[in-house]
Amino acid sequence: MCNDNNKPVTGTMTVANLHAIGDLRIEQKEIPTCGDDEVLVKIKYCGVCGSDIPRILSKGTYHFPTVPGHEFSGQVVYDKSGEYTGKRVAVFPLLPCFACENCKEERYVQCTNYDYYGSRRDGAFAEYLAVKKFNLIELPEGVSDEEGAMCEPVSVANHAIKKLEIARGEHLLITGAGPIGLIAAMWARSKGAADIYFVDIDERKLELAKSFGFKAYDSAVRIDAVLEGTGASSAITAAIGAVRSGGRIVLMGNPSFDVSLTAKVYQDILRKEIHLSGTWNSSYGERVNDWKESLAAVSEGKLPIKGLISHKVALEKAFDAVKMMAERKEFYCKVMIEL
């Protein structure tokens, strides 16, 4: 049954709309209408992902104009069926085709014909967004709207740490002390890792990591597993050199340039019999669902992710925030757009 407030929302809304590379405009658009499989979400918070920086400033989206933003939470203000109306939600941003072989096996992030909020279709740098019901995940009591908007990076980190199969008492090295690296460290600690070490070229990031109880890398320490979070050749080389024989490395960083290894470094992978694997996004299915696990962990207080939020900005300041991040004008960790 629909409640008394379950009525279509009409009129205009404010969005940050990307018309071309480097051309992010604050403007008015019609509030979207919902298909039968969609609900209308009033956006509360949207995180600015590191991938949004090149998307807005150098590479562009898949077409113009596009409203960016894929890390978000909000409240459902209209659902034709009334099922979700009034519920606070996070949103899995990838829209699978459900027809390819990967989708049939619930490997949705390997879908060969997927869509995506914030890059292939309009996202959440906006006051409202029509969202597929499949992509909704309800926020538990005790999880704030800000934490809900961080469910995407929390789930990406969760997915990566599970691939490392951390055993209690092991030592972990993470290259790159950005938000996902720090969240991954929180996950590893919750799974019993003894000490978690970071490498980063920015001393301020290392100091932030230390404030959460993590450590700067010491080459004298035996490292059982490495999460590589930068995609840089130098960091991958350092990871291979640091990990013990028989250790594990998971590659998570998305490279901006070609990656190369020397013959000696490649031989180290062979001689040390390193277990090397990649990770991509997160699982969101009936059998395995990183998102449900992430929200449960946040609600239980296992992951103090709110402490990562360094900036909250109004939608009208979204472009300024992206440029600040790109030019590193200020020290930041997680930048959130507050609507």
Q: What share of the chain is helix, strand, coil (3-state, %, to 5)?
A: 30, 30, 40
Strand-pair partners of 14:
28
* Lookup result for tokens 């991954």: 184
Query: What is the DSSP pairing of strand 71-78 with strand 88-91?
Result: antiparallel
CA-to-CA distance for 111 and 102, rounded, in angstroms?
Answer: 6
Inter-residue contact 145 to 88 (CB < 8 Å) = yes
Among all chains, which residue has been given the structure tokens 């790159």? 176
Q: In the structure encoding, which two tokens stand for residue 69, read together?
A: 């933003």
Residue numbers in the chain where pLDDT is lower than 70: 1-4
The model's pTM is: 0.96
CA distance 310 to 332: 6
CA–CA distance, 109 with 286 (Å, rounded to integer): 14
Q: What per-residue confidence (pLDDT) applies to 4?
A: 54
pLDDT, position 5: 75
Q: Where are the domains of the chain?
A: 12-149+304-338, 153-278
Fill in the DSSP letter of residue 317. Answer: G
pLDDT tens track for 123-141: 999 999 999 999 999 999 9
151-202 tens-digit pLDDT: 999 999 999 999 999 999 999 999 999 999 999 999 999 999 999 999 999 9
Burial letters for 133-171: b for 16+ Cβ neighbours within 10 Å, e otherwise? bebbbebeeebbbbbbbbbbbbbbbbbbbbbbebeeebb
Number of helices and strands in the chain (H, E): 10, 17
**Helix runs in the chain, H state only:** 52-57, 101-104, 145-149, 151-164, 179-190, 203-211, 233-242, 263-271, 290-299, 318-327
User: How much is the pLDDT for 1?
Assistant: 33
CA torsion sign, 197 to 201 to 205 to 206?
Answer: positive
Query: Under 8 Å CB-to-CB from 263, ≥6 apart: which residues?
Result: none
How high is the pLDDT of residue 3? 42
Q: Are 195 and 221 in contact (CB under 8 A)?
A: yes
Q: Does domain 153-278 have CATH number 3.40.50.720?
A: yes
Residues 12-149+304-338, CATH architecture = Alpha-Beta Complex (3.90)
Tokens of 83: 């099922």
Q: How far is residue 32's CA from residue 93's CA, in Å, rounded to a whole number?
A: 17
Q: Is 77:9 a contact under the CB 8 Å cutoff?
A: yes
